[in-house]
């Protein structure tokens, strides 16, 4: 900006009069108001994401910061002056104990420049944002202020920052440093917004105490000034909902124009570490970008995401293209608020001016849509064009019929296939999902994994491609039946795959893949009378087939474990001469009758008769049956849940003391089911729609699992050596989850191991070492000293929550899962 004394500018459509541009605000360096305004204008793009939707308190130096001999007067300002505040400044009203104040939200460059114009050199914001309705949301970041006492250097603060980083890393957080521009260092870590300010403050306080306990010579967590001489105060209190922190990239009201500058961990290790002034910060951002960008990425507005509308709700564009009085298509007035988390899909064959297929995935309460001129690809080697079009309402998922001539998309529409999908990735430029269609649908009745990737071919942002991902277990799609449906076999028909087996012959053929539940919460259960609630058992999912007096037990990934659990052979007697296919969970119980997954670990993978017999005596197996899929060749999977439960109770009637049991279901009483589950020490409950059918091999929202403690299956990609007692063995496992064609790093786990587990893991992993990491996105600090292994072992951890950067927080090891394949691991929740 020009440095005349007065100037009127237009910023984002807002006119703003800038005055006294020649006034010197930093006498020591000669920095003028024009320089300050120019800085805030240049830094706006990287600063605003960190302050957007956060109430801003301001420190104003109307006459400048002064000199050491004659310091300038500072005005601390909360409430906006209605007389002098432009009407375009977005405001938020907050009621305090003694007052109600109106604060600005620094959501655009114009507001930022206006604050600079009135000499608001410092901008302070809380760790929480204001919601769409003006409410205060939970914090989306944690902050630690490392404040040096007398005699302590910035290098000492950096040392404490590294100690704090180690703890935060173990918590699954990803701390990012900011030199405050004043004395010390701020550490930020993104949160997912699931905890209140009080809860986050409590965690930060405990973290500060832990640092003080480990390093009493340099760290103090108590605010008393008398205790801070020669030490670094780990100030945890700025996580309090009533407090604010200097905003990243804000100027400071020091005698030199320093800035709260985001830094890298490499910089913090430099012996030349110092605070930066605004000119240096601008040069760094121009050269390197924003080191703190990931902090606000998870909290950014969804306005730029796939399918988001530029204004109004996500159906604004859809409605603008249709007249409800002229087309039979659904034209709802609003987006359904209750369907944001569904996973339905539909592919429609659309005989418009040009034949194409409409590919639609439910996401955020709408059907995000692409038009496929050549239909879904049937060969992984051949990609097809996918044109991203306007979001459609969920009601469109059942639409079939004729769109009248003269209306948008005129022509005949048929449903080519529909069902539910498993989501692997949803990003602004990439979506990966496995579709489970109908047995007689156009996808051929087999799961199909598709990747949709934005290519912007020809400079058009709507141009994507759709790719059929390779899956050796999946046969080619029904390439010859676009627009036609195959004849479906009626429910209950005996086929070669479901018929009986002559007595005594081993059971062969592909085992049944179990139906899978989706992780959810009690809030998703709207009408309890429509649901049944079963206990969630902490064990191994297993399908039991009894045919011709022969038993076969198979796990979710198809492994035959019949020999591992001979103590479940009584299933043949319980079948009483009938052929049955049952679904249930293999568990081991404590003396108190509670499932013990650690005890079950001692049974897994054993095949030698002597070992199996000894283990069965120590930890007898039990089979908790909760579904029946077939009886004497009659396929029951298309029958509703209530009918299958009745058939199960008729078919399986074991004595009370038998290791095979049919646990009761709680009809229409979630609270009672949850209370019983906790009382019994179980993992949670599974809510099942009473009119739902059994979807073989599919993860469905007709079954919702509600856990007391969160668990996650993970893939082991490496390990780091331990210290102290564990110096010669594993200290922590480095974990990943399948993401597209690779494994995405989700953190490390160093607790929950027994000595036996460590010995077993050391032996197993030692035989599978490799030179390079199989995990994507491992921070250098976590990778230091790591031993990498081939990603062939699946395990399970218990954890507190997912962090804002998609890492496991406070994971604890539960054990290996030999019943699971790597490709079956999905992110829970």
- Mean pLDDT for back-to-back runs of 10 residues, the chain (829 residues): 70 89 94 95 94 94 93 90 89 83 92 96 95 86 94 93 88 89 95 87 88 87 82 94 95 96 91 93 89 68 33 73 84 67 88 90 91 91 89 90 84 92 86 90 91 77 86 41 34 31 66 88 83 90 94 90 94 93 94 81 86 91 96 93 92 87 81 81 88 89 85 94 74 92 90 84 91 91 90 90 78 88 85
CA distance 584 to 626: 5
CB 439 within 8 Å of CB 488 = yes
Give residue 481's pLDDT: 38
Concatenated DSSP letters of 411-456:
EEEEEEEEEEEEEEEEETTEEEEEEE--TTSTTTTS-EEEEEEE--
In sequence order, which ranges of 52-196 are alpha helices (DSSP H)? 109-117, 154-170
Dihedral sign computed on CA atoms, order 773, 774, 776, 779: negative
Burial of residue 776, with CB atoms counted within 10 A of its CB: 0-12 exposed, 13-18 middle, 19 or more buried: middle
Check 33, 165, 536, 748 and give the catalytic one.
536
Residue 733 lies in a domain: yes
Task: Give CA–CA dist 179/246, Å, rounded.
Answer: 11
Q: Quote the pLDDT of residue 477.
A: 42
Would you list the DSSP string of 725-751?
GGTTSEEEEEEEEEETTEEEEEEEE-S
H helices present in 557-640, as ranges: 571-575, 597-601, 609-618
536 is a catalytic site residue: yes
The two tokens of residue 241 are 């909902």
CATH code where residue 795 lies: 2.40.50.140
Task: Collect all residues with Cβ–Cβ distance below 8 Å to 562 and sequence separation of at least 6.
Answer: 551, 552, 553
Q: Are residues 58 and 93 in the same domain?
A: yes
Q: List C-alpha distances in Å: 585 to 68, 146, 238, 711, 823.
A: 74, 50, 47, 17, 21
Task: Say whether both 293 and 348 belong to one domain.
Answer: no
* CB-based burial label for 192 (10 Å; 0-12, 13-18, 19+): middle
Whether 382 is in a domain gets the answer: yes
pLDDT at 753: 84
Backbone angles phi, psi at 492, to 5 degrees: 95, -5
Could you tell me the CATH number of the domain that includes residue 596?
3.30.470.30
Q: Quick one: which of 565, 512, 566 has its CA closest to 540?
A: 565
pTM: 0.42
Cross-strand bridge partners of residue 93: 102
576 within domain boundaries:
yes
C-alpha to C-alpha distances, 614 to 63, 122, 603, 757, 785, nearest whole angstrom: 85, 71, 10, 19, 39
Model pLDDT, residue 543: 96
Are residues 600 and 724 located together in one domain of the fold? no
- Record the tokens describing residue 52, joined without a space: 């957007």
Whole-Å CA distances, 375 to 6, 151, 353, 471: 61, 70, 15, 19
Domain that holds residue 318: 304-468
Q: Is residue 136 part of a domain?
A: no
The pLDDT value given to residue 120: 96
Assess whether 434 and 359 both reside in one domain: yes
Tokens for 260?
């709260």
Residue 601, φ and ψ in degrees, nearest 5 = -55, -30
Q: Does residue 684 share a domain with residue 728?
A: no
Rg (CA), the chain: 31
Number of domains present in the structure of the chain: 5
Measured between alpha carbons, how far is 192 from 138 in angstroms, rounded to an integer? 9
What residues contact residue 139 under an 8 Å CB cut-off, 6+ apart?
A: 126, 127, 128, 191, 193, 195, 196, 197, 200, 239, 241
The residue written with tokens 């009690």 in the block is 522
Per-residue exposure over 706-723, b if at least 16 CB sit within 10 Å of its own CB, e if not: bbeebbbbbbbbbbbebe
Q: How far is CA 47 from CA 55, 90, 261, in A?
A: 14, 17, 10
User: In this structure, are residues 76 and 57 in contact, taking their beta carbons and an 8 Å threshold?
Assistant: yes
pLDDT for the residue 694: 94
Are 128 and 139 in contact, with CB atoms under 8 Å apart?
A: yes
Partnered with residue 189 across adjacent β-strands are: 142
Residues 164 and 91 in one domain: no
Residue 764 lies in a domain: yes
pLDDT of amino acid 318: 85
* Any domain includes 250: no
Choose one of 687, 707, 727: the last residue of a domain: 707
Q: Is residue 590 part of a domain?
A: yes
**Spatial CB neighbours of 485, under 8 Å, sequence gap ≥ 6:** 440, 441, 442
What is the H or E stretch that residue 649 is in?
helix 641-651
Same domain, 232 and 173: yes
Tell me, yes or no, whether 333 and 197 share the same domain. no
Apex CA 583: angle with CA 579 and CA 586, to 5°?
115
- The C-alpha atoms of residue 8 and residue 30 are separated, in whole angstroms, by 23
Domain shared by 527 and 586, yes or no: yes
Please tell me the predicted confidence (pLDDT) of residue 684. Answer: 87
Query: Kind of pairing, strands 730-739 and 801-802?
Result: unpaired
Query: What's the CA gap between 509 and 506, in Å, rounded?
Result: 10
Centroid of chain to Cα 87: 38
Same domain for 11 and 73:
yes
715 domain residue, yes or no: yes
Alpha-carbon span 396 to 360, nearest angstrom:
9
Domain boundary among 707, 731, 755: 707
Question: Is residue 201 within 8 Å of 154, Cβ to Cβ?
Answer: no
Q: Count Cα neighbours of 211 within 13 Å in the Cβ-side half-sphere.
A: 29
Looking up residue 296, the CATH number of its domain turns out to be 3.30.70.3300
217 with 237, same domain: the answer is yes
Rounded to an integer, what distance in angstroms lies between the CA atom of residue 550 and that of residue 61?
Answer: 86
CA 691 to CA 695: how far, in whole Å? 12
Could you read off the pLDDT of 539-553 as tens digits, one per residue? 899 999 999 999 999
> Which of 435, 468, 501 is the endpoint of a domain?
468
Identify whether residues 220 and 99 lie together within a single domain: no
Q: What is the mean pLDDT of the chain?
A: 85
């Amino acid at each position: 900006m020009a440095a005349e004394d007065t100037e009127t500018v237009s910023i984002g459509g807002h006119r703003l009069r800038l005055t006294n541009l020649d006034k010197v605000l930093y006498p020591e360096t000669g920095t003028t108001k024009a320089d300050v305004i120019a800085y805030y204008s240049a830094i706006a793009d990287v600063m605003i994401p960190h302050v957007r939707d956060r109430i801003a308190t301001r420190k104003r130096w109307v006459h400048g910061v002064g000199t050491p001999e004659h310091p300038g007067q500072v005005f601390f300002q909360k409430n906006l002056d209605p007389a002098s505040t432009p009407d375009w400044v977005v405001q938020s009203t907050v009621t305090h104990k003694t007052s109600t104040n109106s604060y600005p939200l620094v959501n655009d460059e114009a507001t930022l420049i206006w604050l600079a114009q009135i000499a608001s050199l410092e901008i302070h914001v809380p760790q929480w944002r204001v919601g769409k309705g003006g409410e205060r949301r939970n914090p989306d970041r944690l902050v630690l202020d490392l404040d040096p006492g007398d005699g302590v250097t910035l290098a000492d603060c950096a040392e404490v920052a590294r100690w704090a980083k180690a703890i935060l890393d173990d918590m699954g957080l990803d701390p990012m440093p900011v030199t405050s521009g004043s004395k010390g260092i701020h550490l930020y870590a993104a949160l997912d917004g699931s905890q209140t300010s009080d809860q986050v403050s409590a965690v930060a306080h405990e973290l500060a105490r832990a640092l003080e306990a480990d390093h009493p010579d340099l760290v103090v967590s108590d605010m008393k000034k008398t205790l801070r001489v020669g030490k670094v105060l780990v100030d945890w209190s700025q996580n309090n909902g009533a407090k604010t922190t200097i905003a990243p990239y804000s100027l400071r009201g020091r005698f030199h124009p320093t800035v709260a500058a985001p830094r890298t961990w490499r910089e913090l290790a430099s012996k030349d570490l110092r605070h930066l002034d605004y000119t240096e910060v601008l040069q760094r951002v121009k050269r390197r970008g924003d080191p703190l960008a990931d902090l606000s990425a998870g909290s950014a507005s969804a306005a730029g995401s796939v399918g988001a509308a530029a204004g109004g709700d996500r159906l604004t564009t859809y409605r603008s293209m249709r007249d409800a009085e002229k087309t039979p298509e659904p034209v709802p007035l609003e987006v359904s608020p209750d369907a944001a988390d569904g996973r339905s899909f539909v592919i429609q064959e659309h005989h418009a001016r040009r034949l194409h297929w409409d590919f639609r995935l439910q996401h955020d309460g709408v059907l995000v849509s692409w038009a496929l001129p050549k239909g879904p690809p049937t060969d992984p080697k051949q990609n097809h064009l996918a044109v991203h079009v306007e979001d459609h309402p969920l009601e469109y998922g059942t639409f079939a019929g004729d769109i009248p001539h003269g209306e948008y998309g005129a022509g005949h529409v048929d449903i080519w296939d529909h069902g539910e999908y498993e989501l692997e990735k949803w990003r602004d430029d990439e979506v990966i999902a496995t579709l489970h269609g109908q047995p007689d649908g156009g996808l051929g009745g087999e799961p199909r994994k598709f990747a949709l990737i934005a290519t912007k071919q020809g400079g058009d942002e709507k141009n994507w491609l759709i790719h059929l991902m390779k899956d050796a277990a999946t046969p080619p799609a029904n390439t010859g039946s676009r627009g036609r449906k195959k004849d479906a076999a009626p429910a209950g028909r005996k086929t070669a795959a479901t018929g009986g087996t002559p007595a005594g012959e081993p059971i062969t053929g592909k085992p049944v893949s179990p139906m899978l539940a989706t992780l959810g919460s009690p809030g998703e259960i709207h009408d309890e009378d429509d649901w049944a609630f079963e206990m969630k058992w902490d064990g191994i999912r297993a399908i039991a087939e009894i045919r011709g007096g022969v038993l076969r037990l198979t796990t979710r990934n198809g492994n035959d474990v019949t020999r591992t659990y001979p103590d479940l052979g009584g299933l043949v007697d319980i079948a009483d001469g009938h052929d049955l296919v049952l679904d249930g969970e293999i568990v081991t119980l404590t003396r108190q009758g509670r499932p013990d997954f650690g005890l079950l670990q001692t049974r897994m993978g054993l095949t030698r008769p002597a070992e199996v017999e000894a283990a069965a005596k120590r930890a007898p197996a039990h089979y908790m049956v909760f579904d029946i899929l077939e009886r004497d060749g009659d396929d029951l999977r298309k029958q509703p849940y209530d009918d299958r439960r009745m058939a199960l109770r008729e078919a399986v009637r074991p004595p009370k003391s038998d290791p095979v049991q049919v646990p009761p279901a709680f009809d229409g009483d979630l609270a009672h089911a949850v209370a019983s589950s906790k009382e019994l020490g179980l993992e949670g409950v599974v809510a099942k729609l009473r009119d739902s059918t059994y979807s073989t091999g599919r993860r469905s929202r007709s079954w919702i699992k509600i856990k007391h403690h969160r668990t996650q299956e993970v893939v082991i990609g490496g390990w780091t050596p331990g210290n102290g007692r564990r110096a010669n063995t594993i200290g922590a496992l480095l974990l990943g989850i399948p993401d597209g064609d690779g494994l995405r790093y989700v953190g490390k786990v160093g607790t929950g191991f027994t000595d036996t587990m460590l010995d077993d893991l050391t032996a197993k992993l030692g035989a599978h070492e490799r030179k390079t990491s199989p995990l994507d996105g491992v921070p250098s600090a976590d990778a230091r000293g790591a031993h990498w292994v081939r990603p062939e072992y699946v395990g399970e951890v218990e954890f507190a929550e997912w962090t804002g950067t998609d890492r496991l927080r406070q994971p604890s090891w539960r054990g290996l899962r030999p019943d699971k394949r790597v490709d079956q691991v999905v992110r829970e929740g």
